Structure 1
Amino acid sequence: MYDTVYHRPQTINDAVKLCSELDEPAYLSGGHTLIPAMKGRLAAPAHLIDVRRIPDLAGITVTSDHVLIGSATTHAEVAASAPIASAIPALPGLAGSIGDVQVRNVGTMGGSVANNDPAADYPSAVLALDATIVTDRREIAADDYFDGLYSTVLEPSELLTRIKYKIPTIAGYAKFRNPASRYALAAAFIAKYAGGSVRVAITGAGNSGVFRWKEAEDAIANGATSDAIKNLHLDPEDMMGDMHASAEYRSHLVTIVTARALDHLGGVNIT
């Protein structure tokens, strides 16, 4: 690894100030992408700004309409939260499917959403649950936040502070995962809302990252069954292809996991 200076600010303002003033800085939360990238010499920040222990980035609040989660909240804390499970059971189910117990106890929700790995789980929840991403300077609607592979609309030094998820009438998550890394080869998060609207978000498969599947949304809103979802078609040209799964296979997997999520509304299905 390259030489780097480690900082542990105690407030959001201190963290943002450091990041805006230092040369080649990077925020550090769980570090499950950044640290391996540094070890492989794919990233070399001169300064690491550890935000995990900033009090204002912690905490879970559930209201009648929303679940608010601090960005430094770990996957394990989300998975174990009874208030979240009461409001949106699929969300702690999703968190409990991430990696292994070691990863879940260190990795953070905010780190995952800020990094926007195309195979990460949380981006699908953010998009399907019509979330609002709150930063140190603004609020961003989920539909406006993601900007391609490993990319978001966050500006330099902008710090994600919490995520506000809209509580649906019911939601479900299904994931087909790589057996080694447990990243999603394809996963679907479905959320239904009062009035009949439906949001379906797909992660792990799209060649531009997480995306909403509008055809499936319309079909489910019109009463489609899981068997009908399996008959929908996604163009393999829009899917990722790699050593783990071809684009054609991922196209097929998306229909399977979406059908499973529909069959398991109110919970999760992980294979």
Structure 2
Amino acid sequence: MIAGTPALELRDISVHYGYARALDRVTFTVAPGEVVALLGDNGAGKSTLLKVMSGVHRPSSGTVLVHGEEHEFRSPRDAAGAGIQMVYQDLALVDSFDIAANLALGREKLLKGPLGWFGFLDRAAIRRESQAELDALAVRTAPVTRPVEMLSGGQRQVVAIARAAARLPEHGILLLDEPTAALGHEQAELVEALIRSLADRGTSIVLVTHNLPLAFAVCDRTVVLNRGHKVADVPTAEHDKDLVVSWITGASVQEGLEIPRAGDPPAA
């Protein structure tokens, strides 16, 4: 990692679906240990940009760089190999499995010897390693033996974020899609604390959310999209919520950035 180099940089990213422009020459950066809010109304293009970062979509044009190195993601596996993990709204947890099994999903340890040859899991080792991963993140949700179906919404979200974080390399990049959707205040505070803890450890975080209080509480910088264009890119602490809302709705645009043109097709 080179000092001063963004952890993740997207340069002039465009995504076209025929004549429809989902994104039009969007540039986006997140620094090591920075939390950036990616905001916008429905159809602004933020989900499309997040999918470009995570390797789900290939851009029609533009460049993706991770720690200064250019990458061409053809799949989420490519993005994960570059140190990027994504937590989707549906969390992708297995309700009938306990916390430890969900944290180890896809990288389970097998028993040594003949039993391991036949695929028998070393559940004791999985639970020890899962507990160590949670301890390293200072996560105190529930015993690792508790099934996910018995957890609250906030606890489930924390488990999903912790699983992604445990798979990140040092100075990795975490993408979060609406992590507090449908959560109450106390549950959202669990997620907020974990986001700040990860950032303090050097993880770069991109947060897509409609929850403005969360964005103002945890994000260092705010980027706003409107109809596929970037209309604001500012330090969060230097602007109030009313101005951010005006950018989201299209009532105003940050000086020096492009205003969406009248008659443009809506972004996807």
TM range (shorter): under 0.3
Structure with max Cα Rg: 2
TM-score normalised according to structure 2 size = 0.26
Higher relative contact order (CA 8 A, sep 6+): 2
TM-score by length of 1: 0.26
